[in-house]
Amino acid sequence: RDFSGVMDEVTGAQLIAESLKTQKVEFMFGIVGVPVIEVAMAAQAAGVKYVGMRNEQAACYAASAVGYITGRPGACLVVSGPGLIHALGGMANANINCWPVIVIGGSSDRSQETTGAFQEFPQVESCHLYSKFSARPSSLEAIPSVIEKAVRTSIYGRPGAVYVDIAGDMVNAKIERNKVRLVPCCPPPPVSSAAGDAIEKAVSVLKAAKTPLVIIGKGAAYSRAEDVLRQFVEETGLPFLPTPMGKGVLPDDHPNCAAAARSRALLHADVVLLLGARLNWMLHFGLPPRFNPHVKVIQVDLCAEEMGNNVTPRVALLGDIGAVVAQLLTCIRNDGWRYLSNSEWWGTLKEKIAANAKISKALALKGTLPMNYYTVFHHISQLLPHDCIIVSEGANTMDIGRTMLNNYLPRHRLDAGTFGTMGVGLGFAIAAAAVEGTKIKPQRVVCVEGDSAFGFSGMEVETMCRYNLPVIVIVVNNNGIYSGLDPETWKEMSKMGNLTSVAPPVALLPEARYDEVMTAFGGRGFLVRTPEELRDALQLSLDDWERPCLLNVLIDPSSDRKQQEFPWLTRSNL
């Protein structure tokens, strides 16, 4: 409306910001510069929360985590050329994780296209590989509909990354408001159910199973299927196995959870009900030697193209996890079927669960110094509140931490994911803390990092301190990638010759003071060597909601995973 007699005009920046807000994009992460500073300012004016980050990659990780946690994409705002290129890592990670995110990139002025302009780059073209949708509005009038389409595309069908380009000269260009057609908020994605005959077939396959297993993936988490899934598992009595980010959809301490017998459960299952998880490397492709060669898979996914990847399913149920599980449950309830709790299968799973728990406990209570991974996670798990959000990355840190740190709530675990990306942790933690910060009773965000993983985005500690985000970062520091050297060996090595010739490529600086990175910006840092110091530092951190804390936990650089039955990434017999 215009009360002054002057035309009511809006800029391109305002149109982007207001369209994002209309589409219920509530968070923006980014790094400003020419030509997008005004976009960030307009976003704040429109009521979108803006978090300024230190690297576009971490900004994009953060924006995508908001998408996974809330079901509505976060926005990532970047400058042209290198800014956008840094964000591609985050887009790839989001797209491969099937997480929604909307990246907004400034680009050079339209009049300078192909002239070698400042930071000129074919941005729309390069984003095609990393996204479901990549476009530049052709005019200011087109901005609301392009933003709506981008947001809708990011959450409809299989979720993923989208890109919207804004030419530098469009950011501050103006247009009369009444010339712009506003586009209303796109509704949540339509929910589809599976075909009735396929449901009946699936139930008959399930009932005939001797050694059934339900696998719960992060698609089930994203689908918010936790309530109906709990009913399904409890009424059928079936054992379930969560994938890494499927952890917490049902609590890890649920009596039907077979996570601690993972290898055995996968190997001997004759029927697998696959709920929102892909049969990719994370599930050993669904093939021998990790799976029974005759396993019958009932595959539930909303993406038809996913059906049959690596294993032809016995039954394919196309639809939303929550809706399809409800259908299965209705069909099963008709005749009150229940899987036998005294079966041989439950017996063999329970035996393995107990045996594995014993090994982990023995390693945890070893009492030697420096501590091993199991000791560290044992003490952490005793102190963490059940509702905390656990972010985790690193090789051993993530793998061992996954087995030792329980999740009790859905979408409360964020890790390196399908793409195996290292460097995601701090961005994810910042996103989770920003979302929690809007709640009356925020939950704790705990970011458990390997020392190498921490390094990829370590400067985001400044971001945490700047916004006073009460994240607890725990760096499990073994002086290297996979493993490093102790300080004495490192010293000897430096005498042997030039370190660039003799130092193992996996080694990082022994006992690096990551805790001082946190204190440098005003957060709290703790150097931890013993279980007592670990418990004290973690308790002090949990009691402090005023600032971020970092625990630098120095562990035995030779500490490793317990003996594994199968080497990592096995893919023989193909």
Residue numbers of the site for ligand ADP (CB under 6 A)? 97-98, 158, 217-219, 222-223, 243, 245-246, 276-278, 280, 282, 301-303, 306, 320-321, 418
Reduced 3-state DSSP string for 149-206:
HHHHHHHCCCCCEEEEEEEHHHHCCEEEHHHCCCCCCCCCCCCCCCCHHHHHHHHHHH
Nearer to Mg ion among residue 301 and residue 451 (C-beta):
451
Q: Which of 221, 78, 564 is nearest to 360 (CA)?
A: 564
432 binds, among Mg ion, ligand ADP, none (CB under 5 to 8 A by kind): none
SS3 content of the chain, % helix, strand, coil (to 5): 45, 15, 40
219 binds, among Mg ion, ligand ADP, none (CB under 5 to 8 A by kind): ligand ADP
Nearer to ligand ADP among residue 308 and residue 522 (C-beta):
308
**What is the smallest separation between the CB atom of 243 and ligand ADP, expressed in angstroms?**
3
Nearer to Mg ion among residue 251 and residue 557 (C-beta):
557
418 binds, among Mg ion, ligand ADP, none (CB under 5 to 8 A by kind): ligand ADP
Nearer to Mg ion among residue 325 and residue 422 (C-beta):
422
Q: What is the DSSP letter of 507?
A: B
Q: Which of 158, 242, 568 is nearest to 412 (CA)?
A: 242
**What is the smallest separation between the CB atom of 455 and Mg ion, expressed in angstroms?**
9
**What is the smallest separation between the CB atom of 479 and ligand ADP, expressed in angstroms?**
30
510 binds, among Mg ion, ligand ADP, none (CB under 5 to 8 A by kind): none
**What is the smallest separation between the CB atom of 491 and ligand ADP, expressed in angstroms?**
42
User: Using CA atoms, how far apart are residues 73 and 64, in angstroms rounded to an integer?
Assistant: 7
Q: Which of 272, 278, 286, 293 is nearest to 244 (CA)?
A: 278
Q: Do residues 433 and 472 lie in contact, with contact meaning Cβ atoms separated by under 8 Å? A: no
Q: Do residues 43 and 77 lie in contact, with contact meaning Cβ atoms separated by under 8 Å? A: yes
User: Using CA atoms, how far apart are residues 266 and 21, in angstroms rounded to an integer?
Assistant: 45
Q: Which residue is nearest to ligand ADP (CB)?
A: 219
**What is the smallest separation between the CB atom of 309 and Mg ion, expressed in angstroms?**
33
Q: What is the DSSP letter of 340?
A: -
Alpha helices in 246-336 (DSSP H): 262-268, 321-333
Q: What is the chain's length? A: 574
Nearer to Mg ion among residue 135 and residue 485 (C-beta):
485
303 binds, among Mg ion, ligand ADP, none (CB under 5 to 8 A by kind): ligand ADP
User: Using CA atoms, how far apart are residues 477 and 373, in angstroms rounded to an integer?
Assistant: 10
Q: Do residues 336 and 345 lie in contact, with contact meaning Cβ atoms separated by under 8 Å? A: no
User: Using CA atoms, how far apart are residues 518 and 526, in angstroms rounded to an integer?
Assistant: 9
158 binds, among ligand ADP, Mg ion, none (CB under 5 to 8 A by kind): ligand ADP
Nearer to ligand ADP among residue 37 and residue 282 (C-beta):
282
Nearer to ligand ADP among residue 320 and residue 436 (C-beta):
320
Nearer to Mg ion among residue 119 and residue 397 (C-beta):
397
256 binds, among Mg ion, ligand ADP, none (CB under 5 to 8 A by kind): none
Nearer to ligand ADP among residue 157 and residue 437 (C-beta):
157
**What is the smallest separation between the CB atom of 560 and Mg ion, expressed in angstroms?**
11
**What is the smallest separation between the CB atom of 147 and ligand ADP, expressed in angstroms?**
23
Q: Do residues 59 and 78 lie in contact, with contact meaning Cβ atoms separated by under 8 Å? A: yes
Indicate the residue type of 40.
A
**What is the smallest separation between the CB atom of 508 and Mg ion, expressed in angstroms?**
7
246 binds, among Mg ion, ligand ADP, none (CB under 5 to 8 A by kind): ligand ADP
Q: Which residue ranges make up the site for Mg ion (CB under 5 A)?
A: 450-452, 478
Q: What is the DSSP letter of 444?
A: P
**What is the smallest separation between the CB atom of 151 and ligand ADP, expressed in angstroms?**
17
**What is the smallest separation between the CB atom of 305 and ligand ADP, expressed in angstroms?**
9
Q: Which of 376, 387, 360, 393 is nearest to 481 (CA)?
A: 393
Nearer to Mg ion among residue 254 and residue 513 (C-beta):
513
Q: Which of 368, 388, 572 is nearest to 472 (CA)?
A: 388
β-pairing, 174-176 with 9-11? antiparallel
22 binds, among Mg ion, ligand ADP, none (CB under 5 to 8 A by kind): none
**What is the smallest separation between the CB atom of 96 and ligand ADP, expressed in angstroms?**
8
Q: Do residues 81 and 119 lie in contact, with contact meaning Cβ atoms separated by under 8 Å? A: yes
156 φψ region: left (φ > 0), alpha (ψ -120 to 50), beta (else):
beta
451 binds, among Mg ion, ligand ADP, none (CB under 5 to 8 A by kind): Mg ion
User: Using CA atoms, how far apart are residues 302 and 296, in angstroms rounded to an integer?
Assistant: 19
**What is the smallest separation between the CB atom of 340 and ligand ADP, expressed in angstroms?**
28
29 binds, among ligand ADP, Mg ion, none (CB under 5 to 8 A by kind): none
Nearer to ligand ADP among residue 127 and residue 216 (C-beta):
216
**CA angle (254 as vertex; 250, 257 as ends), nearest 5:** 85
Residue-by-residue DSSP string for 321-379: HHHHHHHHHHHHHTTT----TTSHHHHHHHHHHHHHHHHHHHHHT---SSBPHHHHHHH
277 binds, among Mg ion, ligand ADP, none (CB under 5 to 8 A by kind): ligand ADP
* Residue that has been written with the tokens 């976003």 in this structure: 43
Nearer to ligand ADP among residue 194 and residue 471 (C-beta):
194
Coil, helix or strand at residue 294: coil
